[in-house]
Chains A and B, each alone.
Chain A
Amino acid sequence: MASEENKRWDLGGAQDAKRLLRESKAHKGESLWTDARRRLRRNRAAFWCLVFLFVFALFSFLAPLLPIPSPKALDTSAGTALEPAWPWTTPHLAGEWDPDTFPNDADVAPGVLPSRAYGNLLNDGWRHQTVLRFHQESADIPPEPLLDWVEGVAGRRARVGSLRPDKEGGYLRYLCLPLDRDDAPRVDFEPTGVSGELLVWRFPLAEAPPGRPAFGVVYDLNLPEGLPPLERVGVEARTRRIELFLTPAERPAGVSGMAYRATLPRHIEGSAALVLVNGVGYPVEGGPPLPAAAAKLDLVLAPAQELRGIEHEGLVDRLRAAAPPPPGATLEGATHENGYWELGAIDNWMLRARVALFGSWQTGNWMGTDEKGRDLFARIVWGSRTSILVALAAGACSLLIGVIYGAFSGLMGGRIDNVMMRIVDILYSVPFIFVVIFLITIVNEYRTELEDVYGIDREVIFFIVIGAIYWLTMARVVRGQVLSLKNSEFIEAARIMGASTPRILFGHIVPNVLSVVIVYLTLTIPAVMLFEAFLSFLGLGIEPPKVSWGLLANDGTKAINPLKIYWWLVVFPAAAMGSTLLALNILGDGLRDALDPKLRGKD
């Protein structure tokens, strides 16, 4: 009877209490961070936003690896922007690209553009090839002997391109050496243990042979005694590729060289006697004699397959030095075509990995194209790289400079605070748009010099400007917070406990400001993305053919007109940007809640 009575009045309170007790027991003793992580995971929206942003960032980082068209591959054959072609409607290339059956040899030439349905390495944006130009007097000369000659020297399959009249009354015959599957990095070629340094033996200039000095990369090499000391030369940040120049005489048959190229760092003068690549050594013709001890190096010459890739300039050198081409044709020159802009080492590596993984297969225009025929999906993915980079730069600036500057200023107070804040005011009052215009003008004027010597181009200017602006507000916000915190009793208590100023600053004040900082950061990042878009809109930011979300938005607004609405040009970039900004905001909110210890152990 009594138990029934109890049951009737039991509204589950006891259960609730038990659960609460259990949970609170489980959460006692968690560090703030564990707790924050747990609570963030509990906050569904924020958690999924975090996942979304993570996936998004991963996607944009892996852009070269994805089998998507090149973001700068033009195709004006349609004459208009093409609607999204959903995967199930577009015929995509089935199977592999077979070079022997691939049609349209005649079309494969610079500026000759693709057939859309068959995405492949040769004709779509993923063009990564060396194009050789031969001058010939008449149109009747068959291309086959030329092809044989090139293949013989290059040690790889070449393709015949188109024949066009040139200005001097002759003809230009194009031949292409495309990057193919074999050029993908192999296991034994993988640069494991790369030190990031260039090792050269340096000799006085007088002893150097005429012509180009050669040098190479050495990866983890045990050197025998007696060799002149290796000089480690830091590779400048701008030196992305290291070029290996091999003259034909000592080039082992079949070795087509290395894909790493670089301009010689300016401070290296002289010449090397020996080039070492991956522990494989090549003596340099005309170089200083090898020291006797070099014999102990046990030099191995690599078999042909181990060193593959298009070695563009080296190839031209080799062709020039080789037996003369078949009669009637002379080698005019060569260009290296790349479906992208200049990519860094990691991106190049990913590009090769992509070839190894997907071959010539690539997606169709799932999100349509813009009016120049560039794939929108590819442009969104590649554009997100710029936006994310800009956001990261601004975030890092406001975090590092803004927080430290603001906290220091607020804590010091008095005259120091006054001076520091006036500096911020002055920077605030600078009209940055004018500064940007001014700087961009200068960069354009001294373009080559600035880019070559100092590595300053538009993007660098862009980052400098963002770095200069985006910590200002953060500094003010943090200073205000610190001012109000500074006189709070626990700071006084810390001081009285004998804590030093840096300790008070970083141990007590900064953590208390952090929630505000995080919320402000989540506001800063969208603002920066918009600023980037604005500058790109003015033509001061990212330059075509490079792409950013700002440019895409700009293109989208242009594409809306009364005659035809190219909705995909607006919808997809806007969706990408909007979802990212929304996710950032929700995540910021969630983080603020998660980092508040007062909500600890609650949901």
Chain B
Amino acid sequence: MALLEVKDLRVRFETHHGTVRAVDGVSFDLEEGETLGLVGESGSGKSVTNLALMGLIPSPPGVVEAESVRFKERDLLALPPEELRKLRGNRIAMIFQDPMTSLNPLLTIGRQLTEVLELHKRVSRREARRAAVAGLDDVGIPSPERRLKQYPHELSGGMRQRVMIAMALLCKPDILIADEPTTALDVTIQAQILELMRDLQERHGTAIILVTHDLGVVAGMSNRVNVMYAGRLVESAPAAPLFARPLHPYTAGLLASVPTLDGDPEAQLFSIPGQPPDLAALGEGCAFQPRCDFAVERCATQRPTLDPPLAGEPRLSACFESARLREGFSPAAREEKA
């Protein structure tokens, strides 16, 4: 039994311009201590998926439906709001993309750290303080006692992100949702933060959902990678095989658009042609079909399901033409074709 089981999660927003299906039938499992990468371009529904898990989709206009979202055998969608609130920050924590704006500028670090404990654990102020010091120490912040009394603007970006991580981990949550945790940081700090997350995961056994559009980060961190496009999962596979051989044209395109050191320095960087579709006006078929080089006739009318491309294979792909991708695909080949 997995820690978190999501089956057929759907989130739609009823707007004036029609129904936007931000998340459309996403299913995945998360095991204890596992890192799940969630990849996709902006607007593909990654963040909405996470917010839906935490019950934070504003309603109206949002509507969340699912066959089941089970966290430790409890159905998250059926929980009363108060129960869900107790779960948030306690069992499921989250860290944000931009550490610069994710801390309340008016409260000290200590105040914000102890607030989590205050909300979820019955601890005295002194204990909370001690826990906060330990938490800061855990994420490698020097002289944590002094930091407790400082305000967010007195810390650097990396420090603040560490504080956010410390805050998220203070209650020893089962799941940590990291929503692009390193996007706003420079590369050296990125590495430190990722290293820190991996280290903490090993020590606490926390499962991580790592949302990012940085494929390098995903490759280094994740056990399993889910690729989202237009609110749907298009591919789900263990990290290594996915990067070795993507079985969905969108994944392939994403991989091709990563600049590599051994590539031709003169060549133009590859980009997927076209624009992401309007989520309010999705057709019958595959959402990626208009931008896809592999598209065949039925792609426009029929929606591919997320299935193992070969029977028994431990990965899933939602593409009719995954066999062609397997045969051989390289950006170079594509360039020639273009």
Contact = CB atoms under 8 A, between A and B. Distances in A.
Interface in B23-65: 54, 56, 58, 60
B89 A598 contact: no
Nearest to A490: B104
Nearest to B82: A500
B153 to A, nearest CB: 5
A371 B186 CA distance: 76
Given A512-B105, A597-B105, A497 B88 contact: yes
Given A28-B146, A29-B149, A497 B102 contact: no
B153 A597 contact: yes
A498 B105 contact: no
Contacts of A112: none
B185 interface: no
A297 interface: no
A518 interface: no
A496 B93 contact: yes
Given A28-B146, A512-B104, A492 B96 contact: yes
A25 to B, nearest CB: 10
Interface of A: 28-30, 32, 413-414, 488-490, 492-500, 503, 507-508, 511-512, 597-598, 600
10 contacts: A413-B58, A493-B94, A493-B102, A496-B54, A498-B85, A498-B86, A498-B89, A498-B116, A499-B119, A598-B105
Interface in B125-171: 146, 149-151, 153-154, 164, 167
Nearest to B90: A498
Most buried by B among A414, A494, A508, A598: A494
B98 interface: yes
B245 interface: no
Given A489-B96, A497-B88, A508-B104, 4 more contacts: A29-B149, A490-B103, A496-B94, A498-B88
Given A489-B96, A497-B115, A498-B119, A512 B106 contact: yes
B88 A488 contact: no
B153 A498 contact: no
B87 interface: yes
B65 to A, nearest CB: 21
Contacts of A500: 85
B56 A488 contact: no
Given A32-B106, A493-B102, A508-B104, A600 B151 contact: yes
B120 interface: yes
B302 interface: no
B305 interface: no
Nearest to A600: B151
A399 to B, nearest CB: 18
Interface in B69-118: 85-90, 93-94, 96-98, 101-108, 115-116
Contacts of B120: 498
Given A32-B106, A490-B103, A597-B153, A496 B56 contact: yes
A201 B77 CA distance: 64
Contacts of B105: 490, 512, 597-598
A490 B119 contact: no
B15 to A, nearest CB: 13
Nearest to B148: A29
A497 B106 contact: no
B219 to A, nearest CB: 27
Task: Pick the 7 closest A-B CB pairs, nearest first.
Answer: A498-B89, A497-B89, A498-B88, A29-B149, A489-B102, A489-B101, A490-B104
Given A499-B115, A598-B105, A493 B146 contact: no
A512 B101 CA distance: 13
A403 to B, nearest CB: 15
A508 B105 CA distance: 9
A537 B105 CA distance: 46
Most buried by B among A28, A413, A494, A498: A498
A355 B290 CA distance: 95
B153 A496 contact: no
Given A497-B115, A497-B116, A488 B87 contact: no
A467 to B, nearest CB: 29
Contacts of A493: 94, 96, 102-103, 164
A511 B104 CA distance: 10
Contact of B106 (A28, A29, A503, A597): A597
Nearest to B149: A29
A154 to B, nearest CB: 65
Contact of A511 (B58, B106, B108): B106
Nearest to A35: B151
B104 A497 contact: no
A497 B93 CA distance: 7
A497 B151 contact: no
A104 to B, nearest CB: 67
B228 to A, nearest CB: 20
Contacts of A600: 151, 154
A490 B87 CA distance: 19
Contacts of A495: 56, 88
